[in-house]
Structure 1
Amino acid sequence: MAFEVTTNRAAKARRAVIFCVNEAYFPYALLAASQVRALCASELADIVICAETGEIPASLSDLDIRLARLTLEGQTADMGRLDQKETVTYHRLFLPHAFKDDYDRILYLDSDIFIERGDFARLLEVDLKGHVLAAVRDEVQWFNPERDAHDFRTMGIRGKKYFNAGVLIINCQAYRDKDILSKALDANRMFRDKLKHNDQPLLNAALRGEWLELSPVWNWQHARRFPMLTATVPVGITHFIGKAKPWNDPDSLLPPRYSMAFQHFMARHFPDRPEIKISSGCDVSDATLGRQALRSWWHARKITRYLKRFPDDLVAKE
């Protein structure tokens, strides 16, 4: 496989937090990067943004971002139904190979996230016990671990745990040694036109449940569905799965504090971009609040039982 990586500077650490984004998501990756940097010193980990285009504003130069352009000769052409803008999501499949001379461990993050708290230095050092990666279960298995993910059923894989690929701690050497990339690309060639998601099921298919599970606080996927329950959980990373995003929430499905934070960041660092509309918040009628309270009560016992599997949220479980 042919890779070409061009960067604006050399690596400064053996650990990296990496985002893979297109031009539209570039500023949102920078917001997340600024939140990471506030929680993890530069000597402990590089922050890398893989993007085709994008320029870091002078106002964010202190973040010391490593910009990278990843060229995959003859690879993205085989990604089937995706247009060129969408192929960037597949770049995370190639990161342990593309940066094999630079990083021993990678924390991959999607850019549609909001970082609330967390010891990212310790997160990068989580004991992977020889496994390729650690991740958080996809939300389809939070309340029913036996439920098969849709794409797994399509691929004929049953009874395996299934992770959300928005937050991944990757052991780069193990990833290469176990040939995860080739296995994922084989799955893509076989199923690419039948899958609901992009590269997430490919990674899951390559690992078939052989990965370590992180506490859901590192990839909290319920910011919209259970707002009251979310307020009681010590969330580290909120992940805005689905169509509602802090920068595009016309139905005001997300709590307004997220759109307010994104609006402030964009106005300060990307003033030429369209202004983000602040969410008016969820309907606060008595009926809506009652439904939210009932839903939170209904799921509280299950989510509490799930969280108790992780008495230390910096220990990954088999």
Structure 2
Amino acid sequence: MSAQTTPTGATPPGKRRIAFASYVDEAYLPGFLALLRSLALSNPRLCLDFVVLYDDLGPASVSAIRRLHPRIVPRRVDPGAYDDYVKGDEGNYLVRKAYFILDVFRITDYDTVIALDTDMVVLGDLDELLGLRDGFGAVEQFFRNGAGNRLNSGLLVVNREYLTGEFAARIDEVGRSGRYELDKHDQGVLNAVLDGDFVRIDPRFNFVKRRLEGDLPVPDDVAVLHFTGRHKPWNGGEVGYGRAEEVWRRYDLSGREFLDAFFALPGAKNPELVAHYGARLVEGFGADRRTLLAVGTALHSTGRYAEAVDVLERARDTEGATDPQFHLAMGRALMAVSRYDEAEAHLLLATRDHAAAAAPFGLLAECAWIRGDARGSVAHARAGLDADPTDRKSGLLLRRARAELEAPAFTGDPAEQLAHVAFYMDDQGNAGDKVLPESVRLSFDADPGPRRWHSVHTHRLFDESALREVNARRGLVIGGGGLFIPDTSPNGNSCWQWNVPDEVMERIEVPVAVFAVGYNVFEGQSYAQRRFTESLRLLVAKSAFFGLRNHGSIERVRDLLPADLADRVVYQPCPTTVARKLVAGWQEPEERAETVLVNCAYDRAGLRFGHDYGHFLSEMAHAVTALGERAEVRYAAHISTDEKFVFDLRREHGVSLPVEPMYDMSNAEVWDTYKRTRLVIGMRGHAGMIPFGCGTPIISLISHPKLAYFLNDIERPEWGVSVHDPRLGAVLTERAEDVLDNHRAALDDVAERQQKLWAVTRDNLAGLRGPLGLTV
């Protein structure tokens, strides 16, 4: 991909950041609290930042607001910024404060801000507003609208192009000039600035009370009801709008009434909301077993494992003691904090529900395997399959534990082996994670097999037995891959993927090399910071070499270390990126097929796509259709769940793609498939790094920071397109066509960048020859 023919640019943006915003003061606080309650009760699956603009709220008011939403972002308004505005009736209460909502346009750290007046209640689904990605959205003014070029400022959907200093300056200029409807305050300013240039939103999203004059009922399809005028429901209301005010009073609830109403809602709820409200309910009022179970499950799903255990402990009443669902949740939570004996006891009790016994038996099989009991794992997995022959976890653990029991014992000299802590993927698992351990081993030794390597699965408890085995080898390699992530297989010992207690790690006697590990946290994820940091610092101190696979990870990890340890963290590219330098007898393809391979990922889909999945799918349909006129577009599924893209694309847009099931391929077949295509468009990290390592041009669909980190390291950020890019389809098509039009230049560019990664790898390995006794 030549620098001359491909547009350059900064790292593609991450997930589109969306927030609600309101200006709140003491007089309008009751309305705002009702607005927050209504938002939670009408959109219980939605949890976004809520920016509270304020100038005079007291501590008690701020606390009341925080109790109603877990993601409140308070921002103080500078009233002096509006002192120079020309205003109307100075006796009007709103003549000054009404302008403070214009601080929305001074918010620069979100891509979309949905501004709401505090005299509103939310009655319906707001997904349509979240899907408005471009422009300035508002409902037309109801009265005195002439040519229809005026908006009502009660609800605004403001996108990035208006969240700039330039637009805020235009607002200030009009406000100070007085060239607007003075009696309309902020609304008058915006109408003067925009002059009708805004996206029209359906009136049901800002349904003003005046439409209901004569005590008309609120229509069923109203999504946001707006109590315009001087007389607010919390101040006695207004004659002629009784039925509308009855709707407002549904949300004028006490703390207990609101919490009970929220937990009584049917269907799925956002786990962050459940955890936040559940904590209030449990601590303030007490909760029944069903609610405690929901709160504990929500805490677990958000990575707050110790808190989940604490909440579930409260459900140990007479009824809870015999409830299999309680025991299943408790067993899962205890496993996540490495309290395995207690976890097994609860999971065994959960198997008493024969109709749902497969899940606890699967977890029992996993728990036994983690603790090194392969025979116990087989027994539990068989029981799980007896309960449900289709149970995936039981089937996986049965194959894994059987393979371990049937593997021939090692009869060689342990001192001739290196131990290797890695995530060893099971059959039909993620193709990238299958290729990775072999690639790491080839960096150190031409023989990646069991004669030269002792395998240590990163998710297995590193106990005294494992320590003895490692100390009998000549060294320990840890990596690669994104092992610094808290949730794939949570444990309480390290709070990252290697399940190692500090006291055992301290007694490792052989040289340790951390090789090409990544800090894989998604935007919005976090660690149990203290425990992870303590484990990380001990690991760095123990290591003869500590290499991370991208500079983004290096920066994040160094921030957690004292200066004397931070300097030990160095760059080591993922060995998959230099595969053709490592694999013996590598053969370059005589020619490449006229194909383009596409890959998408669906693990943690909410963190990847946010509220933009529909946009992503539509834009990809455009790109796939356009590229299909140039080459055969095929789908590279690294794991079976990746195939969701193919199903959704066909169902929603009528576009079909043939599938390459890479999860069924050997490592050699994965390399061969990637080296014979002309271009790979991939969302998974290894759907970029592996084809790059085969010499194939790539374009990354960025839904995780690690893809941008890699592209920055090779100084080609333009090889990435964010899944949130408003013009994703057009940009992707343009860049892919450039690769196909200039393919020789693209191949040469990949080779040149790969050579630089290989030079770094060779230098690092040279430094490890002594400590690890390397021969390569």
Into which bin does the TM-score normalised by the smaller protein fall? 0.5 to 0.7
Q: Distance in 1 between matches of 2:71 and 2:29?
A: 12
Unaligned runs of at least 5 residues, structure 2: 1-14, 257-776
Matched, 1:239 2:247: no
Between Structure 1 and Structure 2, the one with more helix by share is 2
With over 3 angstroms needed to count, the CA separation of the structure-2 counterparts of 1:22 and 1:213, relative to structure 1, is same
Q: Aligned match of 1:203 in 179, 190, 196?
A: 190
1:260 CA displacement: 7.2
Per the TM alignment, residue 134 of structure 1 is displaced from its structure 2 partner at its CA by 0.5
For residue 185 of structure 1, the aligned residue among 172, 195, 205 is 172
Residue 111 in structure 1 maps to residue 118 in structure 2: yes
Residues 236 and 192 of structure 1: CA distance in aligned 2, closer, same or farther (over 3 Å): same
Are the structure 2 counterparts of residues 242 and 62 from structure 1 closer, same or farther at C-alpha, using a change threshold of 3 Å?
Answer: closer
Query: Counterparts of 2:207 and 2:152 in 1: how far apart (Å)?
Result: 10
Matched, 1:14 2:22: no
Aligned-pair distance for 1:188?
Answer: 1.6
Q: Which residue of 2 aligns with 1:90?
A: 99
Question: Aligned partners of 2:115, 2:223: CA distance in 1, in Å?
Answer: 15
Which of 13, 31, 36 is residue 34 of structure 2 equivalent to? 31
Amino acid in the other structure paired with 1:93: L
Q: Which runs of 5+ in 1 are unaligned?
A: 1-11, 142-146, 149-158, 270-318
Matching residue of 1:139: 142
Q: Secondary structure at the match of 1:238?
A: strand
Say if 1:184 and 1:231 are closer, same or farther in 2 by CA, change over 3 A.
same
Q: Counterparts of 2:254 and 2:42 in 1: how far apart (Å)?
A: 23
Output the CA distance in 1 between the equivalents of 2:93 and 2:230: 17
**Distance change >3 Å, CA 236–CA 227, structure 1 → 2:** farther
Paired residue for 2:78? 72
8 Å contact from structure 1 (residues 22, 85) kept in 2: no
Partners of 1:96 and 1:33 lie apart in 2 by: 22
In 2, the alpha carbon distance for the partners of 1:250 and 1:258 equals 7
Residues paired across the two proteins, number: 235
* Matching residue of 1:8: none
- Pick from 51, 55, 59 the counterpart of residue 54 of structure 2: 51
Q: Structure with the greater relative contact order (CA < 8 A, sep ≥ 6): 1 or 2?
A: 1
Q: Percent identity?
A: 22
Q: Tell me, in whole angstroms, the C-alpha distance in 2 between the residues paired with 1:194 and 1:232.
A: 31
Q: Following TM superposition, by how much is the alpha carbon of 1:56 offset from its aligned partner in structure 2, in angstroms?
A: 4.2
Deviations 1:67-98 (A, max 9, x none): 4132337412213445896433222222232x
CA distance in 1, matches of 2:182, 2:38: 33
1:99-138 CA-partner distances (Å, limit 9, x unpaired): 312x1100000011122212x244222243xx2x110001
- Select which of 156, 177, 194 maps to 1:168: 156
The verdict on how the C-alpha distance between 1:116 and 1:62 changes in structure 2, with shifts beyond 3 A counting, is closer
Contact 1:33 1:47 in 2 (8 A): no
Partner of 1:273: none
SS of 1:204's equivalent in the other structure is helix
CA contact (8 A) 1:244 1:254 kept: no
Specify the alignment match of 1:100 in structure 2: 108
Separation in 2, partners of 1:168, 1:175:
12
What is the aligned-residue RMSD (CA, Å)? 3.3
CA–CA separation in structure 2 for the residues paired with 1:213 and 1:264? 28
CA deviation map 1:202-235 (0-9, x unaligned): 111111111110111011113541543x544511
Secondary structure of residue in 2 paired with 1:30: helix
Structure 1 Cα separation of the partners of residues 219 and 116 of structure 2 = 24
CA–CA distance in structure 2, aligned partners of residues 170 and 183 of structure 1: 15
Residues 265, 72 of structure 1: CA spacing in aligned structure 2 closer, same or farther, 3 A cutoff? Answer: same
1:45, CA displacement in angstroms? 1.6
CA change 1:69–1:232 in 2 (3 A) is closer
Greater Cα radius of gyration, structure 1 or 2? 2
- Corresponding residue of 1:313: none
Q: Which amino acid aligns with 1:195?
A: L
5 Å-filtered alignment, 1:233-272, equals 234-249=221-236, 251-256=238-243, 258-259=245-246, 261-262=248-249, 265=252, 268=255
| Equivalent residue letter for 2:69 | L
- CA–CA distance in structure 1, aligned partners of residues 253 and 47 of structure 2: 27
The TM-score, its normalising length taken from structure 1, stands at 0.63
**Does structure 1 retain, via aligned residues, the 8 Å contact 2:108–2:163?**
no
SS at match of 2:132: coil
Conserved 8 A contact 2:138-2:201: yes
2:108 maps to a residue whose letter is K
Equivalent residue of 2:230, what SS?
A: coil
Equivalent residue for 2:389?
none
Query: What is the alpha-carbon distance in structure 2 between the residues aligned to residue 88 and residue 42 of structure 1?
Result: 32
Helix, strand or coil at the partner of 1:199: helix
In structure 2, how many angstroms separate the alpha carbons of the residues matched to 1:173 and 1:194?
25
TM-score scaled by length of structure 2: 0.28
Alignment-derived partner of residue 308 in structure 1: none
- Once the two structures are superposed, residues 155-177 of structure 1 have per-residue CA deviations (whole angstroms, 9 ceiling, x without a partner) of xxxx4610000000001334427
Aligned AA for 2:239? S
Does the CA contact (< 8 Å) of 1:107 and 1:167 recur in 2?
yes
Give the Cα separation in 1 of the matches to 2:53 and 2:65: 20
Task: Give the drift of 1:264.
Answer: 6.8
Range with greater deviation from structure 2 (242-251 or 17-26)? 242-251
